[in-house]
Amino acid sequence: MGTEASSEYRRLFEVAAELFEAVVRVLAPGRSDVDVRAAADPILERADMWTMDTLVHGWGLSIEPPRLDATERTLIERPPDPVVFVPGMALVVQPHVLSADRTRGLQVGSLVVVTDDGPEVLQRHPMQFGVLEEGLSSQVDVEIESGGNRRAVSAVESVSETGGPT
């Protein structure tokens, strides 16, 4: 916190961001969980990195189905959860990338809605690597429309002196 990040964490971020973009690109009507794994697996293999758990999951009060993982390089393995994407699905894409030795990790993510035209990422701020100073916070506000209903969602994360979220 408040210091320059190591090159290892910068590399983790680069791979996590690449993985995020690759997975988002396949969230289109008619595509499936098979497409998510086909997009994710080569990136993890090439980078010699792992994911902690779910790459994509449904949006709700907890980790809702479907839960989609990478095929081979996931620490917490579950049976495949087959799904075909349809317009209106709200999905959380959040690769939690781990180093090859699984001692370091970093997670990025956003809520994504599948539309007739493909994926719509609801995060308004660019995904970029940064270091937060103690006491600073970030807030994300999104509006979600589903079935004619509009709902506002807000999340706040601040950094404590221990470097973790408060």
pLDDT in tens, 122-133: 988 777 777 666
Give dist(CA 81, CA 68) in Å, integer.
6
In contact, 88 and 112? CB cutoff 8 Å: no
Q: 119 or 155: whose pLDDT is higher?
A: 119
Residue 141 has pLDDT above 90, yes or no: no
Section 148-166 average pLDDT = 43
pTM for the predicted model, two decimal places: 0.77
Q: For residue 101, what pLDDT is reported?
A: 93
Give dist(CA 108, CA 128) in Å, integer.
10
Phi, psi angle pair for 154, to nearest 5°: -135, 140
Q: For residue 97, what pLDDT is reported?
A: 93
Check residue 64 and report its DSSP letter. E
Least confident residue range of 52-56, 147-151, 160-164: 160-164
Q: Which two tokens stand for residue 28?
A: 């289109």
Q: For residue 2, what pLDDT is reported?
A: 53
For the chain, give the percent of residues with pLDDT over 90: 46
With bands split at pLDDT 50, 70 and 90, how would you rate the model's confidence at 21?
very high
What integer best gives the mean pLDDT of the chain? 80
Burial 127-159 (b: 16+ CB within 10 A, else e): eeeeeeeeeeeeeeebeeeeeeeeeeeeeeeeb
pLDDT digit string, tens, across residues 42-86? 999 999 999 988 899 988 877 788 888 887 788 787 787 899 999
Q: How far, in Å, are 38, 42, 107 from residue 113 at the CA level? A: 20, 24, 20
